[in-house]
A and B are shown apart, each in its own frame.
Chain A
Amino acid sequence: MANELLRVEELSTSYGDLRALWGVSLEVRENEIVALLGGNGAGKSTSLRCIAGLHPVQSGTVLFEGRDLRAVKPHRRIREGLVLIPEERGIFPMMSVEENLKVGGFTIREKAGLETALAWVYGLFPVLRARRWQPAGSLSGGEQQMLSIGKGLVSQPKLLMLDELSLGLAPVLVLKLLDLLKEIHANGVTLVLVDQNVKKILSFCHRGYVFENGRIVLEGKAADLAADPRTRKAYLGR
């Protein structure tokens, strides 16, 4: 079996008095594609935000390549190879496409390294090259999503976590993005996807976790989860 990349153990946190996660444990192995599923407010996004360091962890541990992330400040985690593409598109609307990508490569020190990384991203998303001088806020929803993925890729992460990839996008565009993610995965990037679109995502992923009310209620191989009636139940409430 491949090496373990991310391990989350008994993760708990809250928003004020409202408990959001109740001891979530999961793991992601190298070269896997893992789906986090569940309804709104089930804790998927919060888990990702805790892993990335945007939300404080109250108890439990997050290990990345065996290293306890409590010792790694949020802005240093990208240097470890851990990148989150947040919900609501993590882009800078008033900067050009190219400037956005340059911020994505902020941790790359050498100019040549940045150029190579930019060229790789432009190769994956030719539309971004065509629009490189345009303000990011003027792109279409799909293009903005490509930009936010592209921006996350510039640092050439080991693990890319995508929150609500298909939110607000046309089904055709979602299929196109999934194709691109397949290519990104083929380039050796491990993926964690959060999405509401269970069918499409499960046909694309290796394994999945189903969240309900801040807990993981179901986990297993994607095909098994797709066949399990409890997956549907977790989404629809009952």
Chain B
Amino acid sequence: MQYLVNGLIIGAVYAVIGVGFTLIFGIMQILNFAYGELFMIAAYLAYFGVTVFMLPLWLILILAMAVMFLIGFGIEKAVILPVRMKIPDWVVPVILVTLALQIILQNLALILEGGNFLGIPAYIMGSLRVGNFSVSYERLLMFGICVATLAGIWLLLRKTKLGLALQAVSQNRDAAILSGINTNTVYALCFGLSGLLISIPGVLMMPHLYAYPTVGQVPIMKAFAVTLFGGMGNVAGAIIGGFILGVAETLAAGYISALVKDGVAFAVMILILVFYPAGVGTLLTRRKLG
């Protein structure tokens, strides 16, 4: 029971990480290898928010979301758009650009902040005890914020005009242009949205991790696992995949050994690629975005 609860909580975080990653694939058919580095930037933002500026958590979170949206949007406009304009078949070149960006951002962090592991104390102390199991308030809050974020993204995709445009571009790019949708704006917004999504776990996970240049390796592996599990570009699949990965990891850590925990993500990836490469999301819905 305790494991299940912990698993669902971390699963909500993985779901948010996965959605931010799969969204870009769903709309642009590219992998963003610099996704983990956006997490890293958010982690540094949280660190400085707490230690230097001594801001409250809610303010750090809102500022990080805003800043990361702008960074995502800016990355698309500054380095990806020029490549897309030059090369008609831009999918592979753009993936390489994100790979370069990953290396550049990691080294930039190393130059600016050094390789130190920067940690912060818990945002909130104390835990909720019911019977013989307990959950820290901080994890409850993390769960609440992540679930609200997932609900928000679902509403955005299904109920707003922006969501309609995102879906249209993902399903038939030419037809979207002919309908008056500016694909360049959609792509930049998509990167911004992805940055906003990854900033949430980046800030909330900080007390459990450290900020250091390669911290992004952890979330990007989870993002890959969740995305593959749900089907590339499938948002609903990524949400389910996130929860399943969270529970599977916690159970494996609890009943087998904490050492196998990170291996679970890889095991999930291999199993899904062997037995159901389309991803479980396709069982739920043929529609990719929400």
Contact = CB atoms under 8 A, between A and B. Distances in A.
B286 A137 contact: yes
Nearest to A94: B287
Interface residues of A, number: 30
Interface in B153-199: 161, 164-165, 167-168, 171-172, 174-183
Most buried by B among A53, A84, A92: A92
Contact of A106 (B165, B172, B174, B286): B165
Contact-residue size bin, chain B (C-beta under 8 Å from the other chain) = 20 to 34
Most buried by A among B165, B171, B181, B288: B171
Interface in A66-110: 73-76, 78-79, 83-86, 90-95, 99, 102-104, 106-107
Given A91-B172, A93-B171, A95-B168, A135 B177 contact: no
A12 B181 CA distance: 26
A92 B172 contact: yes
B65 to A, nearest CB: 27
Interface of B: 161, 164-165, 167-168, 171-172, 174-183, 286-288
Given A74-B177, A103-B179, A151-B179, 20 more contacts: A54-B178, A74-B178, A75-B180, A75-B181, A78-B179, A79-B180, A84-B178, A85-B178, A90-B175, A91-B172, A91-B175, A92-B171, A92-B172, A103-B164, A103-B168, A106-B165, A106-B168, A106-B181, A135-B287, A155-B180
Interface of A: 52-54, 73-76, 78-79, 83-86, 90-95, 99, 102-104, 106-107, 135, 137, 151-152, 155
23 contacts: A53-B177, A54-B177, A54-B178, A75-B180, A75-B183, A78-B179, A78-B180, A79-B180, A90-B175, A91-B175, A93-B171, A93-B172, A94-B167, A95-B168, A95-B287, A103-B164, A103-B175, A103-B179, A103-B181, A104-B179, A106-B161, A152-B178, A155-B179
